[in-house]
């Protein structure tokens, strides 16, 4: 059907459901959490996307953070176009792989060596394998509400509330059908912003240095430093999942802001300039456990893909000190504007800001962990989501995602969005959502 008009969103979704499970290639896109029919994007430019019906939206999803300079940025498009003309994949080393690894290592001092992969999930699962191989230990600790991709060992949840490693029973169960209990038997879940007591079984602790998969939950003062010290106490490795925060919140990622140096770091999104990529890096002595130097196997035909490395290098080149100052200032003003809009409408809601990330929590108090993050009113979020969509503003179709204002969202546009939020919030409040 190539070349035929796409038609309406509903018609295209019906066609998609006939050939794609749920009609989507990533679950949240199906709008199950908010209801309704997903819009199908036809194109994007700067801060906007247009759907197949021609409706324009201010896009605050920005490919869930992968796009930081705006859609179809001319320099990234040029870089990808030039790379594509030279060949799209070789299965052999290329110069840009070296350049991108050097760029990451230069920006992130903890990454003395870097291995490029094809996704954030591949980065995290490979980092955990490396941690296990390098330490000779099996146990892994993650935090409730932290999403680290869909690798089996990390797709776990607590079966009996929040479990700490020194509890008698961790209560860890698979977080998905198809994940054997044995795959998560050595995975323990702790509460974010609380440091678990570790022991000599632990290979690594993996953590988002700014949690952005349960809404937006910043680390409390001292949390990451205490976690670093606890890992050091038992010889466990500290792994930062910076797939979202890496090169988004600062030139050196969240570890630059915190001053905490992890043993291994995982990246994705921004380093691909909107194309598929991932990476993990760390101390040279650890990274040298990877094949072909060491016994920890990891490979990928499309790792270091020429188009992704070209786009990533172009994106990183746009992100100088002035860019990060702009991103931070805009996010701060946007957050204040959103909070004022909610307060004026009488909505019990919190606009949260951490560096250049913005989160919404539809409840009275800032969340500090997964338990408190889940107190957000998902039904109210769905109402707000659709009220904004009708006004041409696109948020992520799920209450636990963050907003990604980027370099293309100038102050005038964000002020206009705040005005739309004020109207939408008032509409939701009139519908009976609890008033403050």
Pair 313, 79: CB distance under 8 Å = yes
Minimal CA–CA distance to 108: which of 303, 355, 316? 316
Name the residue among 148, 141, 133 with its Cα closest to residue 184.
Answer: 141
Report d(CA 291, CA 130) in Å as an integer.
10
Rounded Cα–Cα distance for residues 135 and 200 (Å): 10
User: Which is nearest to 76 in space by CA: 311, 291, 256?
Assistant: 311
Q: Which one, of 237, 292, 247, 432, lies nearest residue 348 by Cα?
A: 432
Name the catalytic one among 51, 59, 186, 241.
241
Token pair of 310 as six digits: 């070209």
- The H-or-E segment that residue 230 falls in is helix 223-234
Whole-number Å distance between alpha carbons of 362 and 201 = 39
147 is catalytic: yes
The catalytic position among 147, 192, 370, 400 is 147
Is residue 263 annotated as a catalytic residue, yes or no?
Answer: no
Please, are residues 361 and 215 in contact by the beta-carbon 8 Å criterion?
Answer: yes
Q: Is 340 a catalytic residue?
A: no
Q: Which of 269, 324, 370, 381 is catalytic?
A: 269
Are β-strands 350-354 and 357-361 bridged in parallel, bridged antiparallel, or unpaired?
antiparallel
The number of CA neighbours under 13 Å toward the Cβ of 410 is: 2
Whole-number Cα distances in Å, 89 to 85, 303, 312, 316: 11, 9, 16, 22
Residue 401: what are its φ and ψ, rounded to 5°? -95, 160
| Residue 292, preceding peptide bond in cis (omega within 30° of 0) | yes
Query: Where would I find the H helices in 7-143?
Result: 9-19, 74-86, 95-107, 120-135
Catalytic residues: 147, 241, 269
């Amino acid at each position: 059907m190539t070349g035929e008009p796409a038609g309406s969103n509903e018609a295209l979704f019906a066609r998609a459901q006939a050939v794609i499970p749920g009609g989507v290639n990533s679950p949240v896109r199906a709008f199950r959490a908010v209801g309704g029919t997903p819009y199908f994007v036809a194109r994007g430019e700067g801060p906007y996307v247009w759907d197949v019906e021609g409706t324009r939206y201010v896009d605050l999803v920005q490919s869930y953070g992968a796009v930081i300079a705006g859609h179809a940025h001319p320099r990234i498009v040029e870089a990808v176009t030039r790379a594509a003309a030279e060949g799209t994949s070789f299965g052999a080393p290329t110069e840009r792989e070296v350049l991108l690894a050097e760029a990451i290592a230069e920006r992130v001092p903890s990454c003395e060596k870097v291995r490029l992969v094809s996704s954030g999930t591949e980065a995290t699962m490979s980092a955990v394998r490396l941690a296990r191989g390098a330490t000779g230990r099996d146990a892994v600790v993650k935090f409730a509400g932290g999403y680290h991709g869909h690798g089996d060992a990390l797709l776990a949840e607590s079966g009996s509330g929040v479990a700490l490693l020194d509890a008698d029973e961790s209560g860890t169960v698979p977080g998905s059908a198809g994940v054997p209990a044995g795959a998560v038997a050595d995975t323990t879940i702790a509460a974010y912003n609380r440091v678990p007591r570790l022991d000599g079984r632990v290979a690594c602790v993996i953590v988002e240095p700014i949690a952005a998969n349960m809404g937006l939950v910043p680390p409390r003062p001292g949390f990451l430093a205490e976690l670093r010290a606890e890992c050091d106490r038992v010889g466990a490795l500290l792994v930062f999942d910076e797939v979202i925060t890496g090169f988004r919140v600062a030139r050196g990622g969240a570890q630059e802001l915190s001053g905490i140096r992890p043993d291994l770091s995982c990246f994705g999104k921004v380093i691909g300039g909107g194309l598929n990529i991932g990476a993990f890096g760390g101390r040279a002595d650890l990274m040298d456990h990877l094949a072909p130097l060491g016994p920890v196997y990891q490979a990928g035909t499309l790792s270091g893909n020429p188009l992704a490395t070209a786009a990533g290098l172009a994106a990183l080149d746009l992100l100088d000190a002035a860019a990060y100052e702009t991103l931070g200032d805009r996010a701060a003003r946007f957050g204040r504007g959103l909070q004022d809009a909610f307060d004026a409408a009488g909505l019990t809601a919190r606009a949260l800001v951490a560096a250049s990330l913005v989160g919404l929590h539809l409840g009275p108090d800032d969340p500090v962990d997964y338990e408190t993050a889940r107190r957000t009113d998902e039904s109210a979020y769905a109402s707000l989501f659709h009220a904004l969509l009708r006004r041409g503003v696109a948020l992520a179709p799920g209450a636990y995602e963050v907003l990604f204002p980027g370099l293309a969202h100038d102050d005038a546009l964000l002020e206009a969005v705040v005005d739309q939020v004020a109207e939408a919030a008032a509409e939701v409040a009139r519908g009976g959502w609890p008033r403050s």
